[in-house]
Amino acid sequence: MTGTATRAHWDTLLDAARNAHAAHAKLSGFCTFPDDLTPAQPAPNRIGAAGLMESDPVVRSCTHPLAQALLGGSPHAQWRETYKGTDIAQDFLDRFGCYCLIGTGGAFTSRQMGAFVVYMPPGLHYPCHQHPAEEMYYILAGEAGFTREGEAPETLGAGDVSFHASGQPHATATHDLPVLAYVLWRNHLGTPPVWTPGQGL
């Protein structure tokens, strides 16, 4: 695929993200959609989760335009390996998926907001972690349990959001279904997540 065609994919994905942002009060309330976007050229990096997401029937059948645009971006994305080399099972590294749309390694940069996709296949536990950025998960497809320190656990599905405060430990688990989420960050964009010491919630 030419660079021009790949760029068109990213522009389509950005439009879908902007539209989703405008259509959901909690997303637009979390952060104004950035007005300082700069195109970038992520070097593609493929990991196991990319193929799992691309072949997942729940993701493929999701009619949300943003889900389809995120699927379209997958082959060109720089899938992250945030937790490689940390104290985590290989199965998690093989199946947990995250790529950036706006931010480091993404197709756009901004000093105002980060935007990512997170994909987890069925039966995966994303242990307790934290980061100084404030975060909002917007569930596009599937279902997952969210655990946040100091709050009652919740099972969330399409259209739901989960807010994580700065430094608040949080964890996610899928069971029978996968989950596909669009994830926003605001403030402290440059500090990656770390496992919560003890990982207990």
* Binding-site string for Fe ion from residue 125 to residue 144, where x marks contact by CB under 5 A and - marks none: ----------x---------
Contacts of 88 (CB under 8 A, 6+ apart): 127, 195
How is residue 158 annotated by DSSP?
T
User: Whose Cβ is closer to Fe ion: residue 19's or residue 168's?
Assistant: 168
User: Whose Cβ is closer to Fe ion: residue 59's or residue 98's?
Assistant: 98
Min CB(6)–Fe ion separation in Å: 28
Binding residues for Fe ion, total number by CB under 5 A? 1
Residues 116, 121, 124, 128: what is their CA dihedral angle, to the nearest 10 degrees? 10
Min CB(76)–Fe ion separation in Å: 24
Which residue blocks in 24-138 are alpha helix, DSSP H?
25-30, 48-54, 57-60, 65-73, 90-95
Of 137, 114, 134, the closest CA to residue 34 belongs to 114
Min CB(47)–Fe ion separation in Å: 18
Min CB(183)–Fe ion separation in Å: 7
The residues in 60-89 that bind Fe ion, with binding defined as CB under 5 A, are none
* Binding-site string for Fe ion from residue 21 to residue 50, where x marks contact by CB under 5 A and - marks none: ------------------------------
Strands (E), 131-187: 134-148, 154-157, 161-164, 170-173, 179-186
User: Whose Cβ is closer to Fe ion: residue 12's or residue 88's?
Assistant: 88
CB of 132 within 8 A of CB of 167? yes
Min CB(172)–Fe ion separation in Å: 8
- Applying CB under 5 A, the residues found at the interface with Fe ion are 135
